Structure 1
């Protein structure tokens, strides 16, 4: 018997500030809060395509920011946006959101017609937003 996967069910992100990160996903990106586990603590958010578990990191001196060039782990998340106009509208909303670091504004992806931008959400996780359709 052969087995295969059929897409992503959910993924989990460790965050420094559960309140700020869940607020960003819910109030800026429009995700819905679909659950929580206060004893972890964790908040579960979802859009129409994927669920994300946001886990609170322990607040101690050992917490390190992820360095995509030196640490093994999730390099970034990439969310698809329907078209270039919506990508630009989303960037306009995100760029003024509290505690967001912009890596770069919307630009073409190499020599393709795709456009994208990268940010760091309030806890420092790197997120790409990409549109492949004009």
Structure 2
């Protein structure tokens, strides 16, 4: 067996058009904690205790282009884990009611016959995020 050279995700960096908007979503809606930042970049660090996200503000948000997951190489989406079906349903109720969230795919089985459920949204600022129950 080959020794693995990595040990999971250290952090994920996401470029956002508006740090205050991103902070409000991750901290206010999802309950993440703001755990640091670099005002001169500018960036903030947020965490749910299991993952650390670096949210960087685009240098020129007015001219920045949104990522097209079907045409560009890069992050297709970020998938965040939830504990179970009840947690997924509660999160869906909260997130789908947010006025700046765009629903990409409502809650459903991840694939036919799977007990794993998920949904996908575009958060304020346009980044695509998936929320999923554990693999079953």
Query: Could you state the TM-score of these two structures normalised by the residue count of structure 2?
Result: 0.91
Distance 1:60 1:123 in 2: 10
Q: How far 1:133 moved relative to its partner?
A: 6.6
Q: How far 1:109 moved relative to its partner?
A: 1.2
CA RMSD of aligned residues (A): 1.7
Q: Indicate yes or no: 2:123 matched with 1:121.
A: yes
Map 1:1-134; keep pairs closer than 5 Å.
4-59=5-60, 62-111=63-112, 112-132=114-134
Q: How far 1:59 moved relative to its partner?
A: 2.3
Summarize the Cα distance change of 1:60–1:54 in structure 2 as closer, same or farther, 3 Å threshold.
closer
Deviations 1:10-59 (A, max 9, x none): 11000011110111000111110001111111010011111000000022
Deviations 1:63-114 (A, max 9, x none): 1000000011100000111111110100000011131111121111112111
Secondary structure at the counterpart of residue 120 of structure 2? strand
Secondary structure at the counterpart of residue 5 of structure 1? coil
Secondary structure at the counterpart of residue 121 of structure 2? strand
Distance 2:93 2:40 in 1: 36
Identify unmatched segments of 5+ residues in structure 2.
Answer: none
CA contact (8 A) 1:102 1:119 kept: yes
User: How many correspondences in the alignment?
Assistant: 133
Distance 2:80 2:62 in 1: 32
